[in-house]
Each structure stands twice: as C-alpha cells, then as structure tokens.
Amino acid sequence: MKNVCTETKKKSLIYVSLFILLQVLFYFILILCFHIMNKQIALKIWVIRFCIRIIYPKYNFYTFLVFLAIKFRIWHQRKIGTNRNMDVFELKSIPQNLLNLLVKDNLEYNLPIILNKCILISKEQFIQLGSENLFYLDNGVLWLAMKLSPECKKKHKNKKSNSLENSILKLNFMTTEIHKKLWADSTLNNINNSIIVPVIGSKLLTDNVAFTTENEFHNIVSLFDFNNNENINVTFHPVPSFECSPKIAAEAEVSLILNEYDLANDFVKEVLTNYFQVPKLMSVNDTFSVPLTPTITAKYHYKYLDLVESAGKLHFKCRKLISDGEPDSPHKAANHDKVIRPFFVVKGASHLNLGENIHELKPRDQYFKPREIKSIMNLQLCPTGLREKFLQMQDTISPFVTGDINDLSTCMSSPIIPMLFLTGSIGSGRHLLVKILAKYNGLNCLPIDCNSLQSSTAKQTESKINSMMQKAKAAVPVIVLLDNFEVFAVDPENNEDCRVMEFFMNSIDELYQNYTKHPIIFIAVSERQDLKPNILRIFLERFHVSRLNAQQRYDMLEWFINVMQLKINKEDHVVESNQLVGTETVLTQETKDVLRRIAAKTETFLSGDLDTLVHFALRESYLKQHKSYNKVRTDPDLSFVGEEDFNSALESIRSLQSQHLDAPKIPKVYWEDIGGLEKLKKELLKTIEFPIKYPHLFKNSSLKRSGILLYGPPGCGKTLVAKAVSTELNVSFLSVKGPELLNMYIGQSEENVRKVFESARASSPCIVFLDELDALAPRRGAAGDSGGASDRVVSQLLAEVDGVASGEDADTSSFVFIMGATNRPDLLEQSLLRPGRLDKLIYVGPYSGLTEKTCVLKALCRKYTLRPEVNLESVAEALPDKCTGADLLQVVSCARSAAVRGLVSKLNSGAIKESELNPNSVVIGVSELWQGVDSFRPSVTDDELAYYESLESQM
C-alpha cells in the first residue's frame, strides 16, 4: 500500500513539474510574440511549434494553440479592464429537490454525490469562470474557492466590534454569564476563510445570484458566524493549490443532532449506513440531513412511523474528517491556510464513526417540499393566509434564537423568559403556526398536553411539571407547545391553583438561570382568551388567530392549489420552463376568478376547513371521473378539480355542519320564487346591497343602520323575502324564532342571544332574521314577570344590536344585518326602533291587483306541470282583490291534491300502471285549479286588514 502511495506521489510531482514548465513556456512565447508583432505570422507560429517540439515532442500542437488563445484572451481582458470589479453574488437558499430539478440536465452522473454542497449560478457567469479555471472544470462541475465579498466582510467586522464594545460596557460577574463564556463554541468562525465548493451553471438564473441548499446555506452562515436573517454576498476565486482539491476521507466522525424523539442507537447506525451507500461530499462541521425514506430506514420504517411522518429526516453534524498521510486533527486536516476543504466519504474506503449526540440548531426549513415536483415553484412553508401572524410571532422569538437578547438579559436581575400565548378557534391553524415556527428556526417542537399534567393532588402535578422541564432540557433547542392551557393550574372548582402556578414559574426561572446555552421557548395554546389575570401576566406576548376575511381565504385556497399542484377547469397554471427561480406559480385569470367565488361562499371557514374543502373537492372530482367511464376505465386525473367539484364539496361540508348549532347556511330561495312585491324588493336591495358591496364607503359613518323591521299580516311572505335577499346577495343567513331563545333558567336566555350574534359576527357578511320578534322584545316593564327576565333579554338584545359591527374578529369587511318580522309592531320595545337600530319599517301586506296575484300564482306553479289550456290570469281574477301569499299557496296546493286524486283513481281503474308513475305525472289542469278556487278561505279578515292598514299609517 505504501509503494502504491509513493508511486502516486511521484506521478503527481511529474505532472505538476510539466504543468509549471508549460506555464513558463507560455509566458516566454507570449513575450516573444509581442516583440515580433510586426513580422510575419508564419514566423511566430514556426517559433511556437519549434519550442513545443523541443520541450514536449508528443504534445498536440493544435490543442496547445487553442489553450494559448484562451489564456491570451483572459490576459488581454484583465489588462484592458483593470478597473473592472469582481463579480459579487448574493447567496440564497432553495429546497434541495428544486435544486435537483434545475441541475439534473447538466449533471447526472455525480449529482447524488455533490448535490448537498453544490452552488448554482447563471450559465453566462459559469462559462466566464470556467474559462479562467480550466484545470478545475470536470464533467460540468467547476471547483472554486468561495469567500465573503469585501463589503460584506467590512459590514460584519463593524457589527462584531460594536457588539464586543457593548458587551464590555455591560460586563458583570453573574453566574450565567460565566456559564456562557465557559460553554462558548470553539468552531473556527473566521470571515477570512474560504470554502472549496462545486459550482454548476443554469440557464434559468439571473446574473450575480447564487443558490444552494438550505443545509449548505446553514453551514456557510455558521462558518462565517453570520445570522440566518442577514444577506450574504460572496465572490469566487481559483483554488489555491492542488492540495486543496477534494480527496477521499480515510476516517469520518458524525454526531446526531438530538430531537424530541427517543431514538435507538441501532436505528441511527442503520440510517447512516444506508445513507452512505452512495459517496457524499462534505466538510468539517457540516450539518447534513438524511431523508427517512423506506430505503434508508429499512426494517425500522414502521417502528418510527411517527418520526417519518412529522419530521421526515434526521440531522447530523460532521465532527472529524481525516485523509491518508495527514495529522489526526480535524482542523489541521480540513484547513490549509484558512481554506475549508471538502472530502468524499466513501463506503469501504472511509471508516465511519458515530460520535456522541449533540444539541444544536438545525438548518432552516422555510420552503414547502412536495413529494413529486411537476414544475419549478418555490412555495413558502407557511400558508399565505397565516403569514402575517407568523411574521409577528417570528419577530418576537427571533432575538432569543439568535442570542441578540442576551446582552439585555445580562443587565437585568432576572432573565427575560420567552413565553407566548396563542389563542384561536379550533381549526384556525394554531398548532400549524407553532410547528412552522419550529421548522423555520431550526428548533425541535415538544408538544405537551396540559390535561396530562393535571392530577388529583398538587404534589403529583408538580412532579409532572418537573418531568416536563427535564424533557425540554433533553430536546434543546426547543419550542415547548403547551396545549389546552386553559385547564392548567385550575382546580376542579374552576379556581386558580396558586401553588401549582408558583411552582411552574419557579421551575421556569430556575431553568433559564442555570441553562442558557440553547434557546427554550414556551408557547401556550388555548381556545379561550379570558384566563385568570394572575396566569396571563406570565406571558411576554399574546397573539390571537382571528377569523379569515375574504382575501385571506382566497390566499389560503391559492396556497393549497399550488401546494397540491392542482388544475382548475383544465387550465394549467404551471410555471413556464424559461421562468426564473424564486417566483411562485402564476395562476390564470379564470382560476383566480373561480377561487374568489369559492372564497366568497366560505364565510365561516377556517384554515383547517379550507384544507378539508380542497380534499373533499378532489374526492368529488375522482368520483365524477370514475362514474363517467363507459367501457374502458383509465386512471382518473387527480390533479384536475372543477368549480362544480368545489360546490359539491361545499354542500357536503355544510350538511355535515348542519348538526352544529352555529353553522349558518344560505337558503336557496330566489326572486323567481316570490311573485309581486317589486317595491319591497327594490327597497331591501337598496338598503342592504350597498353596505355589502361598498363597505369602505360606510367605514367612517357615525350612524350605521343595523336592520329592517318587516311587519304585516301573517302569510304575506316576510320570511321568504328575507331568505331571498340573503341568497341573491350570497351572504349567510341565520333564522331565529323569538320564543326558541327563551329559557326558564336565569341568564340562559341572554346567553342564547349572545351566541346568535357571536355566530353572526363570525359568519360575516350575515343576515340575522329574528322571526316573531314581539315575543323576544316586548315593551319593558309590561311583561308582568316578577324576576324581570323579559326585560333582561330585551336589554341584551339592544346591546347586541348596537355592537354587531364590533368585536375582535371584526374588520372593514365585517357586516351583520338584522331583519325582524312581527305581526304586532305596536307591542315591540320602542327603543328597538330608534335610528341606528331597526329604524327602517317596511309594511308587507296582502297582494292586491290582478298583476300581482298572477305573478304570485306563476311563481308558485313554476315547479309544477300545467296543461296548455290553463290561464292563470282568469284564476287570479276569480279570487278576492286582496289575498295573502298563504292564501294563494292554498289554492295551488288544493289544485295539486285534486290532480293527485285523479291520478290515483285512474290507477285503481287500471287505466295506467304504477310503474309509469313519477313526479312529472301530476299535471294540473283548469278543473283542478277551479277546485282550489272553490276551497278558498281568506286567512286575514277585513277587520284585521283594516287594523294593519291603520298601523301602517301610524308607524
């Protein structure tokens, strides 16, 4: 083995000597050519050929001429452009699977080996750098030395010097500060270092931008002691010497970066062994991730299925790399004149050791990574509709993750504890936000259910809290997710348990005073906001995930469509192949219109509901394609979802939610179902349509109309009109009967009223229809009940009517309109009718005149089959002058009943068969309608009608 190494070194020395001799010859010939520039070209070429044949007779003369021409061009460009600045590249990160898609056409053979460390630049700059470094160009990969740009170095030095001065001024001799100094990381973080990296060119990139994987970006940031949030500008230089070129490592030592899971040592070794089946390129102190695919996990795949589904990968850190003939020191072996050298770790040739597990920040995971990439798209991990809340929480925890808060903490007697309080409804995306925060900052996420912490005695609860603190220390750096925090430190009588809360706070204070090397962040998640004041004071910040408005719902749907790579209405929205990296997918205008219509129909939907809607729509699309096959079945297109699929999915979800009390549903009642009342229709649309379509015009109005009161005789269509308004304007509709809100228990009626309006505000825009309002809001003081329950309900109703536009979830697009209906407006509480409340009173009376009655009859008979000889005008003329809608419905119902009886008599006589009967078999003729006219009985007498007409003049 030693003889082979000696012969290899001799050959290397011979090649280096020949290379140096050719370089000297090149410069000699170049000078000679300039001296004899005015002589004939043939004489110059003859001199070159003569010199080459003397020095190296077997060398290809024409190949050397090409090399000479390229070197002369580079030398000439440098001479005439001495003032030209070196190209500076802004370094950015992209997902590894996207980088794989971009470079697989240019590099196929060595792609799995160098993919985790390669740098991607534009093709034009790659060619320029390649022409200057021909000896380090190998199969489409250019090996270069990467350094920080001078401006970036200067900026970083100034920042570090200012930070050092501040730390000296604030120096004190606290135990925690000494602890930090003793445990400081000793890694060489020198901004003058250079890294040997493989560079690849791509036609899809712009100039002066370099892309790399998230892992390699984290390694570069850690090497130069930068912050992940800072911009990094780099320059590329030739490799200093052949000794810095990549070599095969004889020994490699890697350590597992601990996470929140308890992993067996055999499982970790199995993962590493399978991962290094293919050689990998890495440097000392590099952090790399191993995807937990079935091939990698092998027989342990189902045992650690929870880890595979949640994390999907394990992170390791390379602690030592040694090659043959080099000293047993990672820094001496890896660094040559401050050059970080890469090594190939090859199974069989490299001895792989598993070191001790370590606690360290993992690389950022800020992009969504689909399992199968169909197009070049770069999606953020956080959904668009929740990004605003995510950025607020990120700004809060960022100083604790980066350590910027340490200088401030050292000046205080007690440390600043990062405890956040996150509230929101179930399905609003609270847990998703916390998990994304952990991935984005390279932290572990340790979920703790507060129900499991509660015990029958305080001593047992304290023991569980102590165990939770030990788990948090074992998983650092970590975000501890305290779920269902509303039950924490609360006894069975719903009183605050002061002993448990005091022990919890003392445990956290002790944790932060004795352990400060890695960040530990606590985030409490609860559905309730009204916790005890003594509990709320422990939190540094409080966040609330409110209901999504229309724009946020559209953004969420667009994100889901891009993530699942779906097509709507067979319109492909995939990014074109010549589009640059860094932009998200572009939807067609038709797709955007479809998503906006869907977002308008999902007023009450949260983040989880929209996710369910997209999956239900995909299921509807699959079922529809499956049923449409005739004889030959093909695989359904699971990437296509139509608008009708979304509508069907929405109906399915609405039907599932119908069992829930506060699930508003839009009734399907159109103006065609209502005949007459043209004046009433115009008045309602004028009053309600403008605030819904133009809410910004009513934003600063001092007087906001809350609702309309419909009054009149029973059976005139007051409820039907309210449903038609909500359908035509595409808003939610809550129909509440007045008596059903009343309850015998004290305070329960008021709570029922509050729940109705809370649901309406959450379903904005929404119309609340209060039927039989006279039973819910009679005149105060005239109810006759000794407890005054009716008066309290009226007071609660007045307070809710005044506050329909308020609330934490309300915004400029929030709109709740109240429509009341009553037969006795004179019995109502008069303060309910003042301006700003139900100030618009509309009388809904019987239908009068031939035209109105005919329109109502046509609307009622629209769904029935009539004989051609039927004339509805003659039927309307035979009826009294004033008829209510219920009276006309009675006429049509009697006519249909008569038609059914005639059909049954034919069936009994044997004229028709039962198998021939269907709903369309019922045909209404003239005789049946006249039977309905004969059975007509008015529901409103003349005296009652006169009473209502007198009320109209009074109101």
Structure-block tokens of residue 725? 């308004």
Are 835 and 689 in the same domain? yes
CATH number of the domain within which 322 lies: 3.10.330
Does the residue 644 lie in any domain? yes
Task: Determine the pLDDT at residue 435.
Answer: 92
Ordered DSSP codes for 660-672: STT--------GG
449, 483 contact by CB (below 8 A): yes
Distance CA 674, CA 133 (A): 82
Q: Is residue 775 in some structural domain?
A: yes
Let me know whether 459 and 485 are in one domain.
yes
Rg value, the chain, Cα: 39
Half-sphere exposure of 44 (CA within 13 A, CB side): 15
How far does Cα 625 stand from its chain's mean position? 29
**Same-domain check for residues 397 and 408:** yes
* 945 within a domain of the structure (yes/no): no
Would you state the pLDDT for residue 317? 92
Model confidence over 251-307: pLDDT tens digits?
999 999 988 888 888 899 999 999 998 888 888 889 999 988 888 888 888 888 888
Q: How many CB atoms lie within 10 A of CB 23?
A: 11
212/257 same-domain check = no
pLDDT at position 202? 85
Counting every residue written for the chain, the total comes to 955
Strand order from edge to edge, sheet including 478-483: 444-449, 478-483, 520-526, 419-424, 541-545
Please report whether residue 665 resides in a domain: no
Residue 364 is assigned to a structural domain of this protein? no
Q: Per the domain annotation, does 563 fall within a domain?
A: yes
Among candidate residues 494, 518, 545, the one where a domain is terminated: 545
- pLDDT confidence of residue 751: 82
Residue 288 backbone phi and psi in degrees, to 5: -130, 155
Domain identity same for 576 and 713: no
- pLDDT for residue 727: 73
Q: How far is CA 696 from CA 611, 691, 699, in A?
A: 30, 8, 5
Identify whether residues 651 and 727 lie together within a single domain.
Answer: no
Same domain, 433 and 499: yes
Residues 119 and 268 in one domain: no
The predicted pLDDT at position 930 comes to: 82
The rounded average pLDDT for each run of 10 residues, N- to C-terminus, in the chain (955 residues) is 46 54 55 52 65 62 63 58 67 82 70 83 85 76 86 75 51 44 44 85 86 88 74 85 83 90 89 90 90 87 84 89 65 56 88 89 82 65 87 90 73 79 88 91 90 85 89 90 87 77 88 79 89 85 87 88 78 46 62 85 82 88 71 63 85 67 58 73 75 64 67 80 75 75 76 80 74 81 61 82 56 68 83 80 80 79 78 79 80 83 79 72 79 79 76 70
Q: Are 416 and 535 in contact (CB under 8 A)?
A: no
Angle at which helices 550-564 and 589-601 cross, to 10° = 130
CATH at 448? 3.40.50.300
* DSSP SS3 for 804: coil
Between CA 191 and CA 211 the distance in angstroms is 20
End-to-end CA distance of the chain: 110
* Total number of domains in the chain: 7
Domain C-terminal end among 626, 657, 688: 657
What count of other Cβ atoms lies within 10 Å of the Cβ of residue 388? Answer: 11
Query: DSSP secondary-structure letter at 53?
Result: H
Q: Are residues 234 and 121 in the same domain?
A: yes
> Are residues 650 and 619 located together in one domain of the fold?
yes
Residue 586: domain span? 550-657
169 shares its domain with 290:
no
Domain boundary among 627, 657, 687: 657
For residue 621, being part of any structural domain is answered with yes
Give me the pLDDT at residue 179, please.
44
Regarding whether 759 and 859 lie in a shared domain, the answer is: no
pLDDT value of position 631: 45
